[in-house]
């Protein structure tokens, strides 16, 4: 039997820890909209990061990641810690931003375990940030609103790690709820909790197992293109601060003002925002066929207009489209590899999982991982620890 995280911590540090956890998430629709102040529709899932933690008497942070099989340290009194370019930046970044916001933390020993595949678009990074952030705060007896913690973790990733991610992942890790998807307004951080009836629909995530190198550079370029588009459209539409402020009617009227590539990128974001809100409304009324149609449009747009898909993602989506019991399928996450999200009728999940893995392997020679996910609650302390 595998040792539980608490037992591992006890063996390493000779003390019984407190355990904190934060979930990964899958985004049902609303891709590349978050950094345009737009809408996203993720759900937290039952894959998570767990952090075992105990306070120390000094101001040192000492972290062991079981997944990375590595250790890292940090001194909370170091006023200007430098990123090291490795996994520990996510944790040290959170501690640093919390301290610089005036939250006085305690030194701590941490052991991290995770069931979220890393770099697959299921948000292992935000789960790591949020679970360790919650551990730091709890050990120091500080209570923080979940939205505030989400914002601090996003800042850690933007300002310390150096990834220009939006707020979706941290919001889902902090505020996810079992049985719910969440429509998030990435400008106001308002959230509409949408029931997801898991007796009618299952979330099945399929991992291409590839990650193309272009990803990060292209991501930053898309952000620049979106900013450029918003700036140009803003000359004609004075109230426009971000693409979020442009309606599809306005876009139709002024799109000729944009260079061709920028026009395609902006078109994706503006219509994706409308699709996301429409999908949330359809999910509310249980109209899964409409959600599926919107997901198909979203994928086409990400493939052709935003150009962040890849042959492996397209293959998985095409395979899924013709399978029994599938309401909708599309790439999820930043693109250039990673995963697809599939909404599948519960009775079809096993056949779907088998067939899609088979079909993908036949063409690519790669065996994909298939995750049958349940929705989950956001970050919290685990009171009764169970084996992981
Ligand atoms: P995603 O968030 O989609 O999984 P990212 O590239 O944003 O992908 O984050 C992945 C990175 O997060 C990993 O490369 C690693 O540095 C860090 N990470 C995630 N989980 C862990 C873990 N359990 N231990 C150490 N580092 C982790
Ligand atoms: Mg991430």
DSSP string for residues in 321-372: HTSTTEEEEEEESSSSEEEEEEEE-GGGHHHHHHHHHHHHHHHHS---EEEE
- pLDDT, residue 164, reads 80
Q: How far is CA 156 from CA 107, 125, 151, 167, 218, in A?
A: 18, 11, 9, 11, 22
Write the CA distances from 370 to 28, 113, 120, 207, 355, integer angstroms.
16, 20, 12, 6, 11
Helix axes 168-175, 146-155, angle to 10 degrees: 150
pLDDT at 327 over 60: yes
Ligand closest to Cα of 118 equals: 1
Interacting residues of 357 by C-beta distance below 8 A, sequence separation 6+: 206, 367, 368, 370
Is 112 close to ligand 1, i.e. is its CB under 6 Å away? yes
Q: Which residues contact 326 (CB under 8 A, 6 or more apart)?
A: 292, 320, 342, 343, 344, 345, 348, 352
DSSP-based three-state secondary structure for 160: helix
Residues with CB under 5 A from ligand 2 (ion): 125
What tokens does 216 get?
Answer: 């990060």
227-277 pLDDT per residue, tens: 999 999 999 999 999 999 999 999 999 999 999 999 999 999 999 999 999
- Which pLDDT score is estimated for 1? 45
- CA atoms of 189 and 129, how far apart (whole Å): 19
**CA 374–ligand 2 middle distance (angstroms):** 20
User: Please, which residues have CB within 8 angstroms of residue 174's CB and are 6 or more apart in sequence?
Assistant: 22, 130, 146, 147, 149, 150, 153, 378, 379
Give the model confidence (pLDDT) of 158-180 as tens digits.
999 998 888 999 999 999 999 99
pLDDT more than 90, % of the chain: 93
Which token pair is 293?
A: 């149609």
Q: Which of 35, 45, 124, 161 has most ligand 1 atoms within 8 Å of CB, for mutation?
A: 124
Cβ–ligand 1 contact at 114 (below 6 Å): yes
Query: How far is residue 308's CA from residue 144's CA, in Å, rounded to a whole number?
Result: 36
Packing angle of the helix pair 311-321, 349-364 (nearest 10 deg)? 140
Mean per-residue pLDDT of the chain? 96
| pTM, 2 dp | 0.94
**pLDDT value of position 118:** 93
Using pLDDT thresholds of 50, 70 and 90, give the confidence band for residue 387: very low
Q: 21-49, pLDDT tens digit by residue?
A: 999 999 999 999 999 999 999 999 999 99
Ligand 1, atom 16, lies closest to the CA of 87
């Amino acid at each position: 039997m595998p040792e539980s995280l608490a037992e591992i911590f006890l063996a390493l540090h000779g003390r019984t820890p407190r355990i904190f956890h934060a979930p990964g998430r899958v985004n049902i629709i609303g891709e590349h909209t978050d950094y345009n102040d737009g809408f996203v529709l993720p759900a937290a899932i039952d894959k998570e990061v767990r952090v075992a933690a105990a306070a120390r008497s000094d101001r040192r942070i000492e972290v062991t990641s079981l997944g990375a099989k590595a250790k890292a340290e940090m001194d909370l009194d170091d006023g200007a810690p430098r990123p090291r370019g490795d996994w520990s930046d996510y944790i040290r970044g959170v501690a640093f931003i919390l301290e610089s916001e005036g939250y006085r933390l305690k030194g701590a020993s941490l052991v991290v375990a995770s069931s979220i595949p890393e770099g697959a678009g299921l948000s292992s990074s935000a789960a790591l940030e949020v679970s360790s952030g919650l551990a730091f705060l709890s050990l120091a007896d500080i209570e923080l609103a979940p939205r505030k913690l989400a914002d601090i973790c996003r800042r850690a990733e933007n300002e310390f790690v150096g990834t220009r991610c939006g707020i979706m992942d941290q919001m889902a890790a902090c505020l996810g709820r079992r049985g719910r998807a969440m429509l998030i307004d990435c400008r106001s951080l308002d959230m509409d909790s949408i029931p997801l009836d898991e007796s009618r629909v299952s979330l099945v995530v399929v991992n291409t197992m590839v990650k193309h190198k272009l990803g990060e550079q292209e991501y930053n370029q898309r952000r620049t293109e979106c900013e450029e588009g918003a700036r140009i459209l803003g000359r004609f539409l004075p109230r426009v601060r971000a693409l979020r402020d442009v309606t599809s009617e306005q876009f139709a009227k002024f799109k000729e003002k944009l260079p061709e590539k920028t026009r395609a990128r902006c078109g994706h974001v503006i219509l994706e925002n409308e699709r996301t809100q429409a999908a949330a409304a359809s999910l509310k009324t249980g109209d899964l066929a409409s959600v599926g149609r919107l997901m198909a449009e979203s994928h086409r747009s990400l493939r052709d207009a935003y150009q962040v898909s890849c042959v492996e993602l397209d293959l998985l989506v095409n395979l899924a489209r013709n399978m029994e019991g599938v309401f909708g399928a599309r790439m999820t996450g930043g693109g250039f590899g990673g995963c697809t999200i599939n909404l599948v009728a519960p009775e079809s999940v096993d056949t779907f999982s088998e067939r899609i893995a088979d079909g993908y392997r036949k063409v690519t020679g790669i065996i994909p991982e298939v995750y049958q996910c349940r929705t989950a609650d956001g970050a919290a302390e685990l009171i009764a620890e169970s084996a992981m």
